[in-house]
Amino acid sequence: MSITNITMSHLSSPYQMRLNSRQALVLLMIVACLQVNNVIAQSDDLLLPNPPIDSMQYTLTPVLLELNAPWAIKTDAQSRAWITLLSGQLIVTTPITPFYDKNSVQQQIIRLELPQLYLAGQGGLMDVLILDSSTEFHKQLLFTYAKGTEEANAVSVVQVDMEWNDAQNLWVVAQQQSIFTVPQTKSTPVHYGARLAQLPDASILLTVGDGFDWREQAQNIHSPLGKVLRFDVQGQALPDNPYYGMASDQNTAKNSAVAWVYSMGHRNAQGLLVDHTGQVWSNEHGPAGGDEINLIRSGANFGWPVVTQGIDYSGAIISPFADYPDMHNPIVNWTPSIAPSGMSYYQGLLFPELEGHFMVTSLKDRAIYIVQIADDQVINQTRIKPPISLNNDAREFNELAATPRLRDITHTSTGQILILSDGDSGQLLQLKQVITQPLQ
């Protein structure tokens, strides 16, 4: 059996993916070679088609239970999970490698010291970002949290450096500093945005929601509300930001966030990522309908509240416009709403059918949306609702629970997909493929 034979005869037909063990081994070697040559990172160039996504073929296996309102999960290069809880706690796990023993996953719980943490409604400790400057035993982390009071609160970004202490066998906070606070407070505990991402040039992106009652501010270039902001790791606005020059006009720029603005016209962006080509993607909540995935470009206006495919919760029309000059339409529009939460762009060996797909978790719809986008168009979209496998054996179907509200999703460098469920007894869940029959 030649390599050519396998790639052509088996992979050109997406329905013939049941390989024998030798074929599987050879395929694995091919994929490994492609990855070594960095070919797999350029998914457009990869000739292997994605196998079909069968929404019945997945389950969720619990890894950690009883997490009180988990919000964000990221993994580091060693496949440890870093999980935030709204209450201000950080959970760090031991590495979750492809062959980990579920019972061996240990967690350390760290209470972060967050000045003026405002814990109410949707507010509290929210996102975590592991900066590119991190090493195996020294992590440079950014966190977002709601800071202030009921009358005046805003998203704040704090940098926390953590070091592994070998003697104590745990992570310790080495230093911490506040780097940025959104320069406009609000009196609602909702619509924070608060997602972070890092661009290839090391700059930081932060989504800031419209605060619900300030939606017109999403079109005010001087307000930080309803924006994606960009700054350096010290929190300073960057001179190549699209409206940076307007900040030099002292008359218009007083108390203005204009120097930090990267894109505008957002409602409440709860997912944010930078893909392998450096493109920035976000998802955001519409009102009733009009949930979106947007390709974020510097200086672009994404329409809210001038343009939306949704209507107000009351049923009132927000805008007569579904298009508007110089405002970008979403690449994905979910009407009715699914309430998108986290978002990840899958690149890994364990789920070849998901390679190069966006994975978006949904709160309201209790599902994972798998979306393939090429040339700014949706090519494929599949919704999966994997049940929780309570007995931790993907081959047994007698103890399944329905998919819960899902809060966030990520994947490890080894391709494992990790998901947080929502609520006061949230879980860390691992997506697994159901094994319907053993390999021949």
Q: Which residues bind Ca ion (CB under 5 A)?
A: 302-303
The nearest distance, CB 390 to Ca ion, in angstroms, is 39
Smallest CA-to-CA distance from 88 within 122, 125, 120 is with 125
* Residue 70 or 310 with smaller CB distance to Ca ion: 310
Residue 307 CB, shortest distance to Ca ion, in Å, is 6
3-state class percentages of the chain: helix first, strand second, coil last, to nearest 5: 10, 40, 50
Structure tokens at 297: 């470009």
The residue (of 71 and 334) whose beta carbon lies closer to Ca ion is: 334
Check the CA dihedral 26-10-375-360 and report its sign.
negative
SS3 label, residue 219: helix
**Identity of the residue, 107 or 381, whose beta carbon is nearer to Ca ion in the bound complex:** 381
- CA–CA separation, 255 and 251 (whole Å): 10
Which CB sits closer to Ca ion, 140 or 309?
A: 309
Closest separation between CB of residue 362 and Ca ion, Å?
A: 18
Closest approach of Cβ 136 to Ca ion, in Å?
A: 40
Six token digits for residue 111: 């209470």
DSSP calls for 91-150: EEEPP--TT--GGG--EEEEE---TTB--BTTBSEEEEEE-TT-BTTEEEEEEEEEEE-S
Closest CB to Ca ion among 238 and 311? 311
> In whole angstroms, what is the distance from residue 69 CA to residue 91 CA?
12
Count Cβ atoms below 10 Å from residue 227 Cβ, excluding itself: 29
For Ca ion, the closer of residues 142 and 307 by Cβ is 307
Residue written as token pair 């496998």: 389
User: Of 58, 20, 62, nearest to 350 (Cα)?
Assistant: 58
The token duo for 308 is 């939306």
CB 317, min distance to Ca ion, A: 16
Rounded to a whole number of angstroms, the minimum distance from the CB of residue 284 to Ca ion is: 7
Q: Which is nearer to Ca ion, 70 or 303 (CB)?
A: 303
Q: Least separation, in Å, of the C-beta of 333 and Ca ion? A: 9
Nearer to Ca ion, 281 or 302 (CB): 302
Listed in sequence order, the residues at least 6 apart from 52 whose beta carbon sits closer than 8 Å to its beta carbon are 14, 15, 353
Nearer to Ca ion by Cβ, of 124 and 303: the residue is 303
Closest distance between Ca ion and the C-beta of residue 218, in Å? 9
**Distance in Å, CB of 225 to Ca ion, minimum:** 15
DSSP structure class, residue 275 = -
- Rounded to whole angstroms, the Cα distance separating 224 from 270 reads 16
Q: Give the residue at shortest CB distance from Ca ion.
A: 303
Question: Nearest-5° angle of CA 173, CA 423, CA 124?
Answer: 45
The Cα–Cα gap between 252 and 270 comes to 30
Q: Residues in the chain, how many?
A: 440
Question: What residues does 164 pair with on adjacent strands?
Answer: 171
Cβ-Cβ contacts under 8 Å for 97 (sequence gap 6 or more): 79, 412, 414
Minimum Å gap between C-beta 302 and Ca ion is 4
User: Nearer Cβ to Ca ion, position 239 or 320?
Assistant: 320
Phi, then psi, of 216 in degrees rounded to 5:
-65, -25
Q: How many whole angstroms separate alpha carbon 381 and alpha carbon 407?
A: 20
Q: How far is the CB of 241 from Ca ion (least distance, A)?
A: 21
260 vs 302 by CB, closer to Ca ion: 302
